Chain A
Amino acid sequence: MNAQASMSDFILQVEHLSMKFGGLVAIGDLSFQAKRGEITALIGPNGAGKTTVFNCITGFYKPTEGMITLNKRDGSTFLLERLPNHEIPARANVARTFQNIRLFSGMTLLENLLVAQHNKLMKASGYTFLGLFGFPSYRQASAESIELARHWLEKADLVDRADDPAGDLPYGAQRRLEIARAMCTGPELLCLDEPAAGLNPKESAALNELLMGIKGTGTSILLIEHDMSVVMQISDHVVVLEYGRKISDGNPASVRTDPRVIAAYLGVDDEEVQEVLTEVGDEDVIEQLDTGPDAAHGPGNSASMMAGPVSDSVEHANEGERVTVSKGASKAAQVDARANSTKSKPAPKSSTAKPRGGRK
């Protein structure tokens, strides 16, 4: 990795980020960087904790541990985990979209984009007082904001429907509108949570074009995506999560061939798992998982933040928040286990395994 790159090359630095919900570890010790002007994709299977990372970055969650640094173009630096929720878009210029689209459905497209320019217009309207009496400075700012909105409506190919309610738009157009709305806040970092979800190939291509256009304006993009065609085509850098941990990090080509990523996405054949388990011995596999980083807080078998089934999947030991992983939950860990087991095969088993207190 670009360890030599200076700090300001990175727009976003996530260091040792952990997010725990009670006993559940949604993100465990995650570190990655996003370079300025690039599209960084955050991928991983369902429940890997991608959206939790987003919620930490945009202030909807306060992370349990770790540091999120944002370096703005003008040299100022913000520690996002310390900023209140609404100041992250306002001061640190981080904008986001949501996995389940959150538009102001009863307001027109134009109004949606004007709401996004709230802070700028608030200042121009003298915190309402000047605007109430119709001062020309506010009128000018208002006209400018409509021009900016028109610009982004054109980019998103929605200008014909500017005066329709946002709730009336088809799904794909709503996704584009949400991105346009986020862009109207004038962000330096744009966080997109599954922008291509539910889009048909044509809409997906239009989205790619929009995102490349945004990248061209110098805005860095952090992207959560399932659609591999989008990820591979447009992203410059890919971070892969599984069970709240980073399993791979690099350019799209290298990530694509990483066996751990393949295993995480496609899964290891059941037969292979069987093979591995019999080779190493069942308990050893669990041992391997436990000797990974931060063994005391191993990932749960579901990283979903939804409360219901989580408590079932998490075993609470007496000392508090120790979490166990169900056998073979992490596919990437199985790949590691297999790699280790093949390495250790010629040697006697005891040489790699931890001393077991003479039980065997």
Chain B
Amino acid sequence: MAATVSSGRDAVATPIQRAFREAFYAGAISLGLFVLFIGLRTDQNITNELILVQRWLLLAIVVIAVTVGRFLYVAYAVPAMERSKAEKAATPAVVAEPGFIKQNFNRIGLVILLLYPIAMVLLFGFQGSLKWVDNFGIQILIYVMLAWGLNIVVGLAGLLDLGYVAFYAVGAYAYALLGTHFGLSFWILLPAAGCMAAFWGVMLGFPVLRLRGDYLAIVTLAFGEIIRLVLINWREVTNGSAGISGIPKVSFFGLISFNVSDPNYIAKVLHIAQSGAYYKIFLYYLALGLCLLTAFVTIRLRRLPVGRAWEALREDEIACRSLGINTTTTKLTAFATGAMFGGFAGSFFAARQGFVSPESFVFLESAIILAIVVLGGMGSLGGIAVAALVMIGGTEILRELDFLKAVFGPDFTPELYRMLLFGMAMVIVMLWKPRGFVGSREPTAFLKERRAVSASFTKEGHG
């Protein structure tokens, strides 16, 4: 009964009766709501006059759909759900052995990731695989890396950072500027970009050390904006909003190049046909390698005293100080380490795009990365990877859904609904799993057996 909107007074009514009544109410409410939204539409006629288009048929379809939907939900879906719930309560809880997929989640995921470009090439050919490897594979992996980097700051140390994209920007511009002006190789600039981002992480860390919670979030947000505005306005160096183009491509450690004009171009070295897909596939594996490095370092750090101190800081800062932990350096290392991975991701991003501009580093990016961390379950690498796949892959796949045009008419562009669906997905996930996909926490050490810690005990941190 509690699942329905109506109050307890109709507890005696049969589901069918109640369903009729609620369907009627739902229809009436939707009619009232949609009569202006859907039934009428303003438009311009040929003489540029504003006219009112009446769409009563569409309105009728929507209202009928709502009414029938509500009827079916109350009459059949709710009793069925209650029955299954009762059945579940009646049968004693069996401790289910986690399935094969759950047990070998990491291994299966890794194999799929390694075989993904090969599978795409086999399925779509070299040219056809470009889109799948680049737009999906690399794009998702960049976000996975960013989210894993932010996870150190937000998920482990519990410091809410809304300006993470600033470090991404520092990394990208470090590679773009040093690469174009000094011709340094990606393999030198990758660690350099990481170090610079880490340096700015510490720079941000110092002033915000004494801030907690909302205040910290606002200052980090401001920091992100400052970096972006500097990039826009420092024209002499960054070329302003026009951005930097002609960023050199990554080479395979200088041995194999991906520039067609170079003597050691991959097609010439390996005696194969020319194709742009080689570079994308190479970038895919590079991104995968960087992701695995991030994951490896994060997993290692968690088992080291500094990682435990981060988590302890999230749980209780005062207790940390009473145990002799220097909270200042602990926070700074968290900021620096998180920023470093942001810098790695940034320099990879610049190398992949060949072009950077401040437009790639707006606040929305920070928000998306943070959303991925929260949706995945703070602190859990697997959950965050799944969240990045769902969120970034999901929004990318909207570009592919051309069949929707057949349903909603030719002027329907699914991309425009990206953010709407992104938001809806987030609300649904948060209702269904309030602590993210993976809410439990893996302990870093154990005496007898490793048991996951339920999310109800872990804290989100206060700053």
The stretch of B243-251, B420-428, B450-458 that contacts the partner chain? B450-458
Q: Do A146 and B322 touch across chains, with their CB atoms under 8 A apart?
A: no
Query: Which B residue's beta carbon lies closest to that of A119?
Result: B324
**Which residues in A have their C-beta under 8 angstroms from that of B80?**
none
Hey, what's the 0/1 contact readout for B291-330 against A, CB within 8 Å counting as 1?
0000001001100111011011011101111111111000
Q: Do A114 and B318 touch across chains, with their CB atoms under 8 A apart?
A: no
Q: Do A114 and B308 touch across chains, with their CB atoms under 8 A apart?
A: yes
Q: Is B85 an interface residue (CB 8 A)?
A: no
Task: Determine the distance from Cα of A81 to Cα of B304 in the docked complex, in whole angstroms.
Answer: 31
Near A by CB (< 8 A), chain B positions 439-463 give: 441, 443-451, 453-454, 456-459
Q: Do B304 and A128 touch across chains, with their CB atoms under 8 A apart?
A: yes
Q: Do B445 and A185 touch across chains, with their CB atoms under 8 A apart?
A: no
Q: Do A115 and B312 touch across chains, with their CB atoms under 8 A apart?
A: yes
Task: Determine the distance from Cα of A164 to Cα of B441 in the docked complex, in whole angstroms.
Answer: 12
**Which residues in A have their C-beta under 8 angstroms from that of B308?**
107, 111, 114-115, 118
Among A90, A122, A166, max chain B CB count under 10 A is at A122
Task: Determine the distance from Cα of A125 to Cα of B309 in the docked complex, in whole angstroms.
Answer: 13
Hey, what's the 0/1 contact readout for A160-177 against B, CB within 8 Å counting as 1?
001111111000000000
Q: Do A118 and B309 touch across chains, with their CB atoms under 8 A apart?
A: yes
Hey, what's the 0/1 contact readout for A51-93 against B, CB within 8 Å counting as 1?
0000000111000000000000000000000000111111000
Task: Determine the distance from Cα of A179 to Cα of B175 in the docked complex, in whole angstroms.
Answer: 51
Distance to closest chain B CB from A145 (angstroms): 9
Q: Do B324 and A104 touch across chains, with their CB atoms under 8 A apart?
A: no
Q: Is A150 an interface residue (CB 8 A)?
A: yes
Total A residues in contact with B, Cβ cutoff 8 Å: 50
Task: Determine the distance from Cα of A59 to Cα of B326 in the docked complex, in whole angstroms.
Answer: 13
The answer, among B301, B316, B327, B450, for a CB contact under 8 Å with A104, is B316
Hey, what's the 0/1 contact readout for A125-151 against B, CB within 8 Å counting as 1?
100100110100010001000100010
The answer, among B309, B314, B319, B454, for a CB contact under 8 Å with A165, is B454
Distance to closest chain A CB from B96 (angstroms): 21
The answer, among A58, A107, A153, for a CB contact under 8 Å with B312, is A107
Known: A106-B459, A118-B323, A185-B324. Contact between A111 and B445, CB under 8 A?
yes
Task: Determine the distance from Cα of A142 to Cα of B450 in the docked complex, in whole angstroms.
Answer: 17
**Which residues in A have their C-beta under 8 angstroms from that of B316?**
102-105
The answer, among B312, B322, B325, B444, for a CB contact under 8 Å with A96, is B322
Task: Determine the distance from Cα of A85 to Cα of B450 in the docked complex, in whole angstroms.
Answer: 34
Task: Determine the distance from Cα of A169 to Cα of B426 in the docked complex, in whole angstroms.
Answer: 34
**Which residues in B have their C-beta under 8 angstroms from that of A90?**
324, 326
Q: Do A58 and B305 touch across chains, with their CB atoms under 8 A apart?
A: no
Q: Do A106 and B300 touch across chains, with their CB atoms under 8 A apart?
A: no
Q: Do A106 and B324 touch across chains, with their CB atoms under 8 A apart?
A: no
Q: Do B315 and A132 touch across chains, with their CB atoms under 8 A apart?
A: no
Q: Do A106 and B441 touch across chains, with their CB atoms under 8 A apart?
A: yes
**Which residues in B have their C-beta under 8 angstroms from that of A119?**
324-325
The answer, among B318, B323, B445, B457, for a CB contact under 8 Å with A116, is B323
Query: Can you pick out 10 interface pairs between chain A and chain B where the beta carbons lie within 8 Å of each other?
Result: A86-B324, A107-B315, A108-B443, A114-B308, A114-B444, A118-B309, A131-B304, A153-B447, A163-B450, A181-B323
